[in-house]
Structure 1
């Protein structure tokens, strides 16, 4: 998954403003105690991060 697709899906699910805030501020143990931004910067694949977000935030299957 390309980062552009990842950010598009984040914006579609959370809304553009909240997606940025969520990615910056929400720490998830499933990402090793990192935020979305930190996980991406640490080299996690966008697809892996998106799967974690979907699982933690109960994103509907049709949006995954």
Structure 2
């Protein structure tokens, strides 16, 4: 998965206007207590970031 795909999926769920704010403020335990923005900056695998977001947002299995 590319970073652009991660943002596309998050935008689809959270909205274009909110997604960057959410990604910079919502701490996710599955990312080691990081935000999405911090996880990206720290070089965490993008698929791992998506899986953590998927679980945190309680998205349906089809979105996995």
Same-fold status (TM-score > 0.5): yes
2:51 is the counterpart of 1:38: no
Q: Give the CA RMSD over aligned residues.
A: 1.0
Runs of 4+ in 1 over 2 A off after TM superposition: 61-64
Which digits, 9 at most, give the CA deviation of each residue in 1:22-64, with x for residues without a partner?
1000011211111000001101111110000000110122333
> 2:27 corresponds to which residue?
27
Matches within 5 A, 1:1-64: 1-64=1-64
- Higher RCO, 1 or 2 (CA under 8 Å, sep at least 6)? 1
Which structure has greater helix proportion?
1
| TM-score computed with the length of structure 1 as normaliser | 0.91
Report the 3-state secondary structure (helix = DSSP H, G, I; strand = E; otherwise coil) of the residue aligned with 1:16.
coil
Cα distance between partner residues in 1 of 2:39 and 2:31 = 6
- Unaligned residue ranges in structure 1 (runs of 5+): none
